[in-house]
Amino acid sequence: MGSQTPFEQRLKAGIMINEHMYELGAAPNKIRETFAYGLERKAIVGPENVYDLSIGNPSVPSPAIIDETIARMAQESKGTMHAYTPSPGLEDVRQTIAENLNRRFNQSYSAADLYLTSGASSSIAITFKGLVQPGEEVITNVPYFTEYKTWTENVGATLVEVLTRTDDFQMDIPALERAINPKTAAIIINSPNNPVGTVYTDQNIKDLADLLAAKSREYGHTIYLVSDEPYRELAYDGLTPAWVPDLYPATIVCYSWSKSFSLPGERIAYILVPPSMPDHDRVYKAICGGGRSLGYICAGTLFQRVVQACIDAPVNIEPYDVNRKILMEGLDRIGYTYIKPQGAFYMWIQALEPDANAFYERAKKYELLLVPSDGFGVKGWVRAGYCCSKETIEGALVAFEKLYREYR
């Protein structure tokens, strides 16, 4: 057996799988694991006694017009609306989305700039597939959404992690400058941010844009800016996240309705390649190729039509804002250190011991379910998702207080 190659061993055992994919599939995912644990605990101690702040499942109901539209379409269609669409999505749907963006951001986009996908996840995976080559690098700000690593490595590239500033969690431009090199294909940014809740200032993004423009000139190739923005509409206190293509022409926007319309299970999203993109048509075709090679073509037809019909529905962030304020007041009163969220629906709270996993385990004793920061690329913090009911936040604060007392 010892002299056999792994391939020969697998052949002999009759098991032919991609070992790397096996590892990915078998690896524990703390968010999903905690969510599953929460369901178990709810069955045992009652749902009202478990404070699950682990998963980013929006609790605000989808706009009423969504269900009304689905019902109307089902009536009208009589079973005929479930056909394939063109791979990038229906042209008139893409045109409607383009016009919505034109109204909101004063642009002149068209259907030819959009590729519909099933979630920001697939938008990013497609974008990397289309634009990044094996051996290249993608930069992310840290803390970061864990799956960026998976999607980068899926195209044979390396994810380069650059810490955000420690005082305000904005991008650290000098640190990014040190990380950029001739192998840098792209940088991915996420604002409003998961897990910290920061919204990058216009100036911070402008500084990044200047840096990328200078480095692109120096190396003679475009460095892409991938703007992952499923939380765009979830910004508080009147903040408006910058429209990134206005600041950097080679921006790809990966948007999703998962959070804004509370549709994470329906998997509907888009990639925007703005007309300002250098070599736009080739870049757009490469995105189409990325989608094709990954099998991400023709986003669900029903939900293409639903978002078209509901595109102007207002996004209700009020319940998240209420939870945010209750959580901040409670944590202030108890004595926790946290980063005031400006957007999204997560709070970044300092663990009361250096080992965030140990703190997370202790919190579980009080049925308080958090996510340790290690999975987001840093140590010593936890993420608390406040996209739950107000009652859950109130109960969570009682648990936070008991937990705090253990340490003091």
Residues that bind ligand PLP (CB under 6 A): 56, 119-121, 145, 190, 194, 228, 230, 256, 258, 264, 269
Nearer to ligand PLP, 132 or 399 (CB): 132
Q: How many CB atoms lie within 10 A of CB 337?
A: 12
- What CA–CA distance (Å, rounded) separates 239 from 228? 18
- What CA–CA distance (Å, rounded) separates 184 from 201? 24
- What CA–CA distance (Å, rounded) separates 114 from 289? 14
Nearer to ligand PLP, 59 or 110 (CB): 59
Nearer to ligand PLP, 60 or 397 (CB): 60
Q: For residue 247, give Cα distances in angstroms to 21, 204, 251.
A: 37, 11, 9
Nearer to ligand PLP, 56 or 372 (CB): 56
Nearer to ligand PLP, 61 or 182 (CB): 61
DSSP alpha helix (H) spans, 132-221: 147-153, 173-179, 202-219
Q: 201 with 173: CB under 8 angstroms?
A: no
- What CA–CA distance (Å, rounded) separates 283 from 127? 10
CA proximity to 205, closest of 222, 184, 236, 229? 229
Minimum distance, C-beta of residue 150 to ligand PLP, in the bound complex (Å): 11
* Residue whose beta carbon is closest to ligand PLP: 119
Nearer to ligand PLP, 55 or 112 (CB): 55
DSSP alpha helix (H) spans, 61-201: 64-77, 91-105, 120-131, 147-153, 173-179
Nearer to ligand PLP, 216 or 323 (CB): 323
Length of the chain counted residue by residue: 408
Minimum distance, C-beta of residue 392 to ligand PLP, in the bound complex (Å): 18
Minimum distance, C-beta of residue 322 to ligand PLP, in the bound complex (Å): 21
Minimum distance, C-beta of residue 56 to ligand PLP, in the bound complex (Å): 4
Q: 272 with 126: CB under 8 angstroms?
A: no
Element (DSSP H or E) covering residue 406: helix 390-407
Nearer to ligand PLP, 352 or 371 (CB): 371
The residue type of 46 is G
Minimum distance, C-beta of residue 265 to ligand PLP, in the bound complex (Å): 9
Minimum distance, C-beta of residue 384 to ligand PLP, in the bound complex (Å): 14
Element (DSSP H or E) covering residue 271: strand 269-272
- What CA–CA distance (Å, rounded) separates 32 from 55? 7
Minimum distance, C-beta of residue 402 to ligand PLP, in the bound complex (Å): 29
Nearer to ligand PLP, 137 or 228 (CB): 228
Q: How many CB atoms lie within 10 A of CB 14?
A: 6
Minimum distance, C-beta of residue 192 to ligand PLP, in the bound complex (Å): 9
Minimum distance, C-beta of residue 256 to ligand PLP, in the bound complex (Å): 3
- What CA–CA distance (Å, rounded) separates 345 from 80? 38
